């Protein structure tokens, strides 16, 4: 189940250059199903992910609010009950994250964290704890590329397909408690992809690897391949991560409130 948790988190990551104009559209909802696939288990659904965008008032100012929520399906909760909720508030003018919060419940394990961004000083204050232990805190320097997982998820949404060069490696930075994780990716090209119950899509395909520490160590990091809709929405459509036997997969199962038409879907 550790790899299942990694995949739920990986689904909330971005896969492109960090541009300023992320696509935040109140009312948008993206739904995903997570499944395990092996020779003896052709497609066993084990979890679901939901990413929703809305607006809320914070100190008299309207901000964007994005919630990413991952859960195991009821059939498997007796075995491993996972509920991961990530919430981020975004300044509507700069389109940068202001506050991030995670609330994680995985079996009898609990974890919570908050990040407060100071973009004027290029600093972030992080605070976290597990299993009701005392909070730990740290302040770290930021770069324009440093953000939490949810904020990075939206970086790709504003990129043009022409910005990607096939086979060229690039790296993003993800703020994580007291360190920065690096996400390395390569654009593999365009590909038609069939998505279960959704149809066939024109996609942009990426090969990705999440580093293990603040350095560029990718030896044991999570590896995954992701297919993105080849249209203005840039929706992650399908994600696959290999495990020792078989693979863990996530696919788009539904969407609503999109800002642009889903032109990548082939009629």
Model confidence at 210: pLDDT above 90: no
Region of poorest pLDDT, from 5-14, 109-118, 160-169, 203-212: 5-14
Provide the token pair at 53.
Answer: 């965008």
| For residue 85, pLDDT beyond 60 | yes
The string of pLDDT tens digits covering residues 22-33 is 578 889 999 999
More reliable by pLDDT, 38 or 64: 64
Name the burial class of residue 159, with classes exposed (0-12), middle (13-18) and buried (19+) by CB atoms within 10 angstroms of its CB: buried
Residue 5's pLDDT band (cuts 50, 70, 90): very low
Could you give the CA distance from residue 141 to residue 251 in angstroms, rounded to a whole number? Answer: 35
The highest-confidence range among 16-30, 176-190, 247-261, by mean pLDDT, is 247-261
Q: What is the mean pLDDT of residues 94-113?
A: 87
Q: What angle do CA 245, 246, 251 make, to 5 degrees?
A: 150
How many Å separate Cα 115 from the centre of its chain? Answer: 16
Residues of the chain above pLDDT 90, percent? 27
pLDDT of residue 125 exceeding 90, the answer is: yes
Q: Report residue 180 as tokens.
A: 């920065």
35, pLDDT greater than 80: yes
H or E element: which one contains 210?
strand 199-210
Query: What's the pLDDT at 16?
Result: 29
Per-residue pLDDT for 91 more than 60? yes
User: For residue 29, which of 49, 59, 5 has the smallest C-alpha distance?
Assistant: 49
pLDDT at 227 over 80: yes
Using DSSP bridges, classify how beta strands 44-58 and 29-37 pair: parallel, antiparallel or unpaired.
antiparallel
User: Is 264's pLDDT higher than 60?
Assistant: yes
Q: Taking residues 237-256, what's their average pLDDT?
A: 83
Query: For 137-150, what is the mean pLDDT?
Result: 80
Q: End-to-end alpha-carbon separation of the chain, Å? A: 37
0.85 exceeded by pTM: no
Q: Quick one: DSSP state of residue 2?
A: H
Is the pLDDT higher at 2 or at 138?
138
User: Would the pLDDT of 231 be above 50?
Assistant: yes
pLDDT mean over 125-130: 91
Residue 158: band (very low, low, confident or very high) from pLDDT cuts 50, 70, 90: low
Give the Cα separation of 168 and 74 in Å (integer).
Answer: 41
Average pLDDT over residues 59-83: 84
Share of the chain above pLDDT 70, in %: 78
pLDDT band at residue 146 under the 50/70/90 scheme? confident
């Amino acid at each position: 189940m550790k790899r299942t948790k990694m995949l739920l988190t990986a689904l909330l990551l971005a896969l492109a250059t960090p541009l300023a104009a992320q696509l935040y559209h109140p009312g948008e909802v993206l739904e995903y199903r997570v499944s395990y696939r092996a020779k003896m288990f052709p497609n066993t659904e084990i979890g679901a992910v939901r990413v929703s965008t809305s607006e809320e008032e914070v100190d008299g100012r309207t901000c964007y609010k994005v919630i990413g929520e991952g859960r195991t399906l009821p059939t498997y909760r007796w075995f491993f009950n996972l509920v991961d909720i990530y919430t981020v508030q975004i300044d509507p003018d700069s389109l940068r994250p202001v506050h991030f919060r995670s609330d994680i419940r995985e079996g009898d394990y609990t974890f919570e964290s908050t990040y407060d961004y100071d973009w004027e000083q290029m600093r972030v204050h992080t605070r976290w704890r597990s299993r009701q232990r005392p909070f730990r805190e740290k302040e770290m320097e930021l770069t324009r590329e440093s953000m939490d997982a949810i904020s990075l998820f939206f970086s790709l949404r504003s990129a043009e397909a022409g910005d990607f060069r096939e086979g060229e490696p690039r790296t993003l930075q993800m703020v994580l408690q007291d360190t920065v994780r690096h996400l390395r990716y390569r654009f593999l090209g365009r590909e038609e992809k069939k998505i279960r119950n959704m149809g066939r899509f024109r996609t942009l395909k990426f090969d990705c690897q999440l580093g293990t520490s603040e350095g560029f160590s990718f030896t044991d990091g999570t590896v995954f391949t992701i297919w993105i809709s080849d249209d203005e929405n840039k929706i992650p459509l399908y994600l696959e991560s290999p495990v020792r036997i078989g693979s863990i997969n996530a696919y788009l199962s539904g969407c609503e409130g999109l800002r642009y038409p889903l032109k990548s879907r082939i009629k």
